Structure 1
Amino acid sequence: MSRVAGLLRRVFGVAREHVGTDHLGNKYYIIPEQKTWTGRVVRAKRMVVAANPTEYQYMEGSIPLEWDAWIRGRRKEPPSIEELLKNERYREEIKVKAKDVEEKDTAVRAKEYAEGLVATPSQTVAKGHAAATSFGKPQISEEPTSTANTFQPGSWMPNKK
């Protein structure tokens, strides 16, 4: 059906307009509002042609936030290159500031631990996976062993340790 619709769009002049391309290679288009031959109004549509068209190659962040907002109709105008660069610089500044705050917090925490103001968190290491039957046990016991078809009730008694 999409091939037929695409053919009809090309034949009858319904065309998409290229709006922009982002730094990842995604291309953004708009199909303007139009009237059909029956007089019905078809509202404008926004679309993206991804640089990696296969679904399994898509990763979060493959579409910049500004373009995503435009595609979803949260903003009227597509983002400008200046706006994209400004927002990217701002995101990088936030990352640097967050790293600085984390380093300062780590230094304050280490100082508090050294002065004895705060108790150090206990370090527990569990061997194995919580779903395993031996989780938290010091070792897997070999006894009792299975007697399969020869088991008699009352024949096994635990070791006296």
Structure 2
Amino acid sequence: MSKIAGLLRRTFGVVRQHVGNDHLGNKYYFIPEQKSWTGRHIRAKRMVEAANPAEHEYMEGSIPMEWEAWIRGRRKEPPSIEELMVNESQREQIKLKAMEVEEKDLALQAKEYNEGLVATPARTVAKGHAAATVFGKEEFSEEPSSTANKFQPGSWMPTSKK
């Protein structure tokens, strides 16, 4: 059977095995190690067929971490649906706990400010960056005014820069 399958692969091109899908609609395939019709050795590959194939629509997180680890060869077996569900619920629990800790921290910080234990942070507004050459300098901007009909040669004097 493997000789016939190999002959078909060499004749009709690469055969890929469907491994699984994720909840986003992406499809994952495994292309086994094989020889081309010229006898050249082709190594095994793992690939994804994206649910939204346009490159400009790809966003980080379009492939779950478990599937990305399988594609990159960091894990041998593709993830199961149960594993994906458990990991997703754990991530949600971590997000909720992080929000709770942040709320407690903000409440404790406000309490310390009110009791005078900690100085309130200074809220300064600085234009530009401290490394810039014009940091902290006032910018002079005078709106240009038109003197088209009243202009007399020699009457204009430049404004003094402070």
TM-score range, shorter chain: 0.7 to 0.9
Unaligned residue ranges in structure 1 (runs of 5+): 1-7
Q: Which residue matches 1:71?
A: 71
> What's the C-alpha RMSD, in Å, of the aligned pairs?
3.5
Deviation at 1:159, TM superposition (A): 8.0
Q: How many residues align?
A: 145
What is the rounded CA distance, in whole Å, between the counterparts of 2:45 and 2:159 in structure 1?
A: 77
Deviation at 1:123, TM superposition (A): 1.5
Unaligned residue ranges in structure 2 (runs of 5+): 1-7, 146-152
Aligned partners of 1:33 and 1:43 also within 8 Å: yes
Instruction: Describe the SS at the equivalent of 1:19.
Output: strand
Q: What's the TM-score, normalizing by structure 2?
A: 0.74
Deviation at 1:9, TM superposition (A): 5.6
The 1:159–1:20 alpha-carbon spacing in structure 2 relative to 1, beyond 3 Å, is: closer
Deviation at 1:138, TM superposition (A): 6.6
Aligned partners of 2:27 and 2:51 also within 8 Å: yes
Q: Tell me the amino acid that sits aligned with residue 123 of structure 1.
A: R
Q: Which residue matches 1:117?
A: 117
What is the rounded CA distance, in whole Å, between the counterparts of 1:49 and 1:20 in structure 2?
A: 11
What is the rounded CA distance, in whole Å, between the counterparts of 1:19 and 1:136 in structure 2?
A: 61
The 1:43–1:141 alpha-carbon spacing in structure 2 relative to 1, beyond 3 Å, is: closer
Aligned partners of 1:134 and 1:140 also within 8 Å: no
What is the rounded CA distance, in whole Å, between the counterparts of 1:122 and 1:107 in structure 2?
A: 19
Q: What's the TM-score, normalizing by structure 1?
A: 0.74
Spell out the pairing of 1:118-157 with structure 2 (5 A cutoff).
Answer: 118-126=118-126, 130=128, 140-142=140-142
| CA deviation map 1:45-74 (0-9, x unaligned) | 000000010111011100000000001111
Q: Which residue matches 1:158?
A: 160
